[in-house]
Chain A
Amino acid sequence: MINYFKELYKYRELLWNLTKKELKVRYRGSILGIFWSLLNPVIMTLVYSFVFSIVLKSDIKDFPIFLLSGLIPWNFLVSSLNVGIDSIVGNSHLINKIKFPREILPLSITFSNFINFLLELVAFFIFLIFMGYKFYKLLYLLPLIILIQVFLVVGATLLVSSINVYFRDIKHLLNIFMVLWFFATPIIYDIGIVPGKFRYLMIVNPMTVFTILYRNIFYYVNFPESLSFPSLRTLLLCLSLSVAILLFGYYLFNKLSPRFAEEI
């Protein structure tokens, strides 16, 4: 176990280099560069705002902020999974030729998306301050919430990337699953409008809890009467589920990785 982490530590530079490569390659040659990553949520927000505020005449105030507070963390998850699922299969030339800890590949995808996520958050926060953000004590908990979400994202990415080596169908299943997951998470709607009995079901989804927490920090702070905290039990459930996915992802990945070179 100690050896394992030693080995992983030895390859920290590889993780960093691959993460940098991911970011560089993504934006190299494009004129707007890194701003593309910020443009994406902005455009999505404009579209959703138009649909909800103007077409559907939704009464959610400051809809862009409402939406972005859920959409930015969701994008972190979905882009990590969509790119990460191919991180092993798409790097067969490396897997087949060089020995290095295989988890570096999906981790570098998660990390590059994580950096993107942080950039988006920073930009979002600057926007919030510009709009007159009231500082809120839960803000200090933000790093902790992000950390737990990272557990979930890393675990899920490890899971799909390793299963994809054996079952290529998982990619199509993932696409469908992510659409379902998106609508099962209160991103474009408020959990308050969900009937009580379904609400209990939704709590099992860690992304629901994350969305509620992020939304409290970024949006409901302006509407203190609407602040609704998940119970301690819900928080613990979310934490343990995230950690469980991380551990299971790692377990499965390490179980499958010795045969990656043969199976790709």
Chain B
Amino acid sequence: MVNLKNNDDFKNDKNTINSENVINDRNDISDKNTIIFDSVSKSFRIYHEVIPSLKETIIRGKRSTFENFLALDDISFKVKRGETFGIIGPNGSGKTTILKLISGIIQPTEGKIAVNGSLSALLELGAGFHPDLTGRENIFLNASLLGIPRKKIEERFNDIVKFSGLARFIDTPVKNYSSGMYVRLGFTIAINVDPDILLIDEVLAVGDRMFQEKCKGVIQNFKDRGKTIVIVSHDLDAIAKYCTKAILLIDGNIVIEDEPNAVIRDYLSYVAQKEAELAVKEKPIILRRGTSDLLITNIQLIDKNLNIVKSIYSNDKIKIAAEVLSRNNIKNPVFGLQIDDEEGTKIYETNTDWLGKDTGIFIKDRRVKVTFSQKLNLNEGAYYLTVYAKDRDSGNYYDLRERALIFNVRSKGKLEGIVDLGTEFSLEEEKNLYAVKFISDTVPDKMRKDEIYTINLKIQNESKFPWQDEIENPNYPVRIGYRWIDEKGETLPIEGIRTFLGKTINPDEILEIKVNIKSPMKEGKYLLKIDLVKEFFSWFSDLGGDFLQKEILVE
């Protein structure tokens, strides 16, 4: 550990920072408060053109068009001397803006900021490095950027080199450094400024584990010596561990200012809510191929309380369930699943073959529900789920539902590494999968030819699963459709107007819905069949479910 003793040179720098914004109230900025934000607002200009061009400026008579973006909205807080102050919030909430305002890199649009003490900002380590200069030259250059006198650095040079562990490479141009070495050198310089106030922006997320531990040691050391620290981090554990106080920043407003655990709780519930909203909005891209001998539908994530979810906690045991229909006789198909992260990197794949499970013989029209039970011990983020059924010998897909589902993982703690997700597979017959009951209808006995009739229907979902509209969920699309069958038993080639459900019907729920039906072009006796339509493969009622069937005389 470097000897981080107080040095008087820096005491003289007090009040030189943001001198134009210093609050005059001397009592307020006594030893107690180190940083004061007094009704601070900051707006940025968001330009509509990236590069302003003089030609257009002249034509338009002004600079490129822009709108003001309010990054911070009238916020006030105080950081006491010796406090470790955490700022948490979603991306773009204004956290880094606060740090930049404290360090004086940008100026507030409104309000006043007072900073009492010398600063060192770990905004980006090694920001001032020049690749062509050696480590030694960069230490001096970087130190002077941070305003440290050369004398001080000369005194501490050996300590710095020792702490960074780069003694062998100190006279090598930093362009030849690995990124880890780069960060190490930057960090070492930044902490050797020995500031009164240390600003930390996500540096805890860089470097290897050993270096992170070193960082944390330094933070603890600063804390122990009664220095003021402001931390911006997504590492909630670190915030909880080090901070004495924290604020939650959302859209430029301070939502709560309290002890860290209370703030973290609020943040987590905010994130959960946001992600639930997001999960509903984001539609996955439908990528589907295969021979269609087996069809996979209704892929769902089910949590331990048997709710269908889009967002899960990493440690919870969940079920990935899907319905399977065989359209031909198939022997021992392989069911599998794959999880990809947002960048498309394959995280995990398993299937019944690898799990050593026989799935048995599927005679035509067999319907089963397959379930993979497992923990999804994944890091926080969004993931794609792919489910497939394939032939064991040839490997040809019967049905590949690529990226059928997008889901979010939230974690309660931190996770690392690649894990075995420990899949368990089960398969059960589903007899009542699509059960539908028509409770009432207003279908007339007689119709005139070539006309559109509006019919009120009441249907009840008698299955164990919710039906979702195609618009709401393309994985389990359900609509209402109809067919005309003439006296010879042939289906008329009428394009039946299909009607959207408009909402999800949960098990046992009853839905009233208006359906438009066009009558046949010719007179005669017809059979009208109204049923639920699954857009992807076949008529719903053909799978054995109930459907409405009425004889109608067309005149």
CB of B16 within 8 A of CB of A166, answer no
Binds A, one of B141-149, B500-508, B537-545: B141-149
Given the complex of chains A and B, what is the CA–CA distance between A239 and B107 in angstroms?
Answer: 36
- Nearest residue in A to B146 (C-beta to C-beta)? A98
A167 at the interface (CB under 8 A from B): yes
Given the complex of chains A and B, what is the CA–CA distance between A11 and B149 in angstroms?
Answer: 9
Decide: A28 near B132, CB < 8 A? Known: A14-B144, A17-B140: yes
Q: Which of A13, A169, A262 contacts B150 (CB 8 A)?
A: A13
A231 at the interface (CB under 8 A from B): no
A230 vs chain B, min Cβ distance (A) = 35
- Nearest residue in A to B42 (C-beta to C-beta)? A262
- Nearest residue in A to B128 (C-beta to C-beta)? A94
CB of A262 within 8 A of CB of B121, answer no
B131 vs chain A, min Cβ distance (A) = 9
List residues of B (1-46) whose CB comes within 8 Å of A's CBs. Answer: 16-17, 19, 44-45
A18 at the interface (CB under 8 A from B): yes
Q: Besides the contacts A3-B16, A98-B121, A98-B123, what 17 more A-B pairs have beta carbons closer than 8 Å?
A: A6-B16, A11-B144, A11-B147, A17-B140, A17-B141, A21-B141, A25-B132, A93-B128, A95-B105, A98-B127, A166-B52, A167-B54, A169-B52, A169-B54, A169-B55, A259-B107, A261-B100
Given the complex of chains A and B, what is the CA–CA distance between A25 and B19 in angstroms?
Answer: 35
B103 at the interface (CB under 8 A from A): yes
List residues of B (142-160) whose CB comes within 8 Å of A's CBs. Answer: 144-147, 149-150
Decide: A261 near B106, CB < 8 A? Known: A14-B144, A100-B147, A166-B63: yes
Given the complex of chains A and B, what is the CA–CA distance between A263 and B128 in angstroms?
Answer: 19
CB of B106 within 8 A of CB of A13, answer no
Q: Which of A6, A11, A18, A93 contacts B127 (CB 8 A)?
A: A93
A228 at the interface (CB under 8 A from B): no
CB of B137 within 8 A of CB of A21, answer yes
Residues of B within 8 A of A3 (CB): 16, 19
Majority secondary structure, A binding face: helix
CB of A97 within 8 A of CB of B106, answer no
CB of A21 within 8 A of CB of B144, answer no
CB of B16 within 8 A of CB of A262, answer no
Report the count of interface residues on A (CB-CB < 8 A). Answer: 34
Given the complex of chains A and B, what is the CA–CA distance between A93 and B146 in angstroms?
Answer: 14
B14 vs chain A, min Cβ distance (A) = 13
* Pairs A-B, 10 closest by C-beta atoms: A169-B54, A97-B127, A14-B144, A13-B144, A99-B104, A97-B123, A17-B144, A258-B107, A17-B141, A261-B106
A residues lining the B interface (CB < 8 Å) = 3, 6-7, 10-11, 13-14, 16-18, 21, 24-25, 28-29, 93-100, 166-170, 173, 258-259, 261-263
B432 at the interface (CB under 8 A from A): no
CB of B144 within 8 A of CB of A96, answer no
Residues of A within 8 A of B130 (CB): 21, 25
Q: Among A7, A10, A13, A173, which residue has the most Cβ atoms of chain B within 10 A?
A: A13
B491 at the interface (CB under 8 A from A): no
CB of A173 within 8 A of CB of B150, answer no
A245 vs chain B, min Cβ distance (A) = 21
B306 at the interface (CB under 8 A from A): no
Q: List 27 A-B contacts (CB under 8 A).
A: A6-B16, A7-B16, A11-B147, A13-B149, A14-B141, A21-B130, A21-B137, A24-B137, A93-B124, A93-B128, A96-B100, A96-B127, A97-B105, A97-B123, A97-B124, A98-B127, A99-B17, A99-B104, A100-B146, A100-B147, A167-B52, A167-B53, A167-B57, A169-B53, A259-B106, A261-B100, A261-B106
